[in-house]
Amino acid sequence: MAPPSQQSGLIVANYGRHFLVESASGERRICHSRGKKSQGVVGDRVWWLASQDEGTIEKIEPRRNLFYRQDEVRTKSFAANLDQVLILIAAEPEFSSSQLSRALIAAEEQHITPIIALNKRDLTEPFARAWAWLAPYRQMGYDVLPLAMATHNEADRDALLQRLSGKTTLVLGPSGAGKSTLINRLIPGALAQTGELSQALNSGKHTTTSTTWYWLNSDKTSALLDSPGFQEFGLNHIDPAQLAAYMPDLKPHVAHCKFYNCSHLHEPGCGVMAAVESASSPGEISANRYKIYSELYAELKQIRRY
């Protein structure tokens, strides 16, 4: 229970040491962290204290989850208290299967539902190739949604809105996938408003490096969060021994391994290796997905040696 002078709020944008906090009444105000550390992220429920025309964040409520990436240099938090992550990729430019898998693993580890959206359905041949390539992801139960956001296809927009209804969803995607188009289709003028706010804070350079919260409806039951782009998606926080548990195509076969601490790379009697497709056998795990697992396992194992 917070002191009477403090108000509850929601962090809806983060610009360095500045936070934009929305109160229960819908008022938005710039707040600063108490102390030297800036620990809040978009999606945090907080208690804040008014001070003249700004405020200070006094307390951050416990989080349900936190979607983040981590490499050797830094940890980058995208948002907290999410229901879904919408991973937006496109038929062109060609997307990275490794980056897609890493984002999915990060969501699985935090118990956040991922949705894969393949944009640019209007590019017939490239889309057909990409859609076929995503077959293993559909087979393992992921919701894979076809989109053509640049064509103003209302059916696509309605299908997307149906999945976003009543949820807090982070949109994640590489440069060129159409993330800005998608957000402006669902929330007209949203990105322009963000740019204006950033300039008002004299922090224009932060516009594309911070997550921003948008309400999708007037009763504020559905939210869409725009995330910064990224070149790499580090998973240094993942224990290599747990990696297979966050990959739905590998996970069921772990129970069939002969050894409880099987790495699924070389041990005899490995249930995972037995399920990998080969030239002579279709298998239940695609060769590409197993390659991603092997490379990521080696990467994470190497990190823990130091």
Q: What token pair was written down for 155?
A: 């059916």
177 is in an annotated binding site: yes
207 is in an annotated binding site: no
Contact 114, 142 (CB under 8 A): yes
**Answer CATH for 7-60 from 2.40.50.140, 3.40.190.10, 2.20.28.160, 3.40.50.720:** 2.40.50.140
184 is in an annotated binding site: no
Model confidence at 33, pLDDT cuts 50, 70, 90, reads: confident
On the question of pLDDT at 203 being above 60, the answer is no
253 is in an annotated binding site: no
Residue identified by tokens 């299967």 is: 97
Q: What token pair was written down for 157?
A: 């927009």
**Answer CATH for 66-226 from 3.20.20.140, 3.40.50.720, 3.40.1710.10, 3.40.50.300:** 3.40.50.300
CA 123 to chain centre: 25
On the question of pLDDT at 121 being above 90, the answer is yes
Residues forming CATH 3.40.50.300 domain(s) in the chain: 66-226
Model confidence at 288, pLDDT cuts 50, 70, 90, reads: very high
262 is in an annotated binding site: yes
pLDDT at 206: 36
251 is in an annotated binding site: no
Taking the C-alpha atoms of 179, 183, 186 and 188 in order, what is their torsion angle to the nearest 10 degrees? Answer: -140
Q: Please, what's the b/e burial string for 153-173 (b: 16 or more CB within 10 A of its CB; e: otherwise)? A: beebbeebeebbeebbbbbbb
pLDDT at 248: 96
Counting other chains too, the contacts that 263-271 makes at CB distance below 8 Å and 24 or more residues apart are 263/297, 264/293, 264/297, 265/294, 265/297
129 is in an annotated binding site: no
pLDDT tens, 243-265?
A: 999 999 999 999 999 999 999 99
148 is in an annotated binding site: no
158 is in an annotated binding site: no
Residues forming CATH 1.10.40 domain(s) in the chain: 240-303
On the question of pLDDT at 199 being above 50, the answer is yes
CA angle 248, 254, 257 (to 5 degrees): 160
pLDDT tens, 130-147?
A: 999 999 999 999 999 999
Residue identified by tokens 């944008």 is: 13
29 is in an annotated binding site: no
- The overall average pLDDT reported for the chain is 88
pTM surpassing 0.85? yes
176 is in an annotated binding site: yes
Spatial separation of the C-alpha atoms in residues 42 and 77, rounded to whole Å: 9
266 is in an annotated binding site: no
As a whole number, mean pLDDT of residues 41-52 equals 92
Closest CA to 162 of 81, 217, 120: 217
Q: Which amino acid is at 79?
A: A
Residues forming CATH 2.40.50.140 domain(s) in the chain: 7-60
35 is in an annotated binding site: no
Contact 85, 114 (CB under 8 A): yes
CATH class for the region spanning 240-303:
mainly alpha
180 is in an annotated binding site: yes
Residue identified by tokens 């991603």 is: 292
Q: What is the 3-state secondary structure (H, E, C) of the chain?
A: CCCCCCEEEEEEEEECCEEEEEECCCCEEEEEECCCCCCCCCCCEEEEEEECCEEEEEEECCCCCEEEEECCCCEEEEEECCCEEEEEEECCCCCCHHHHHHHHHHHHHCCCEEEEEEECCCCHHHHHHHHHHCHHHHHCCCEEEECCHHHCCHHHHHHHHHHHCCCEEEEECCCCCCHHHHHHHHCCCHHHHHHHHHHHCCCHHHHHHCCEEEECCCCCCCEEEECCCCCCCCECCCCHHHHHHHCCCCHHHHCCCCCCCCCCCCCCCCHHHHCECCCCCCCCECHHHHHHHHHHHHHHHHHCCC
179 is in an annotated binding site: yes
Q: Is 261 exposed, middle or buried (0-12, 13-18, 19+ CB in 10 A)?
A: exposed
pLDDT at 44: 97
Phi and psi angles of residue 55, each rounded to the nearest 5 degrees, phi first: -165, 170
Contact 44, 11 (CB under 8 A): yes
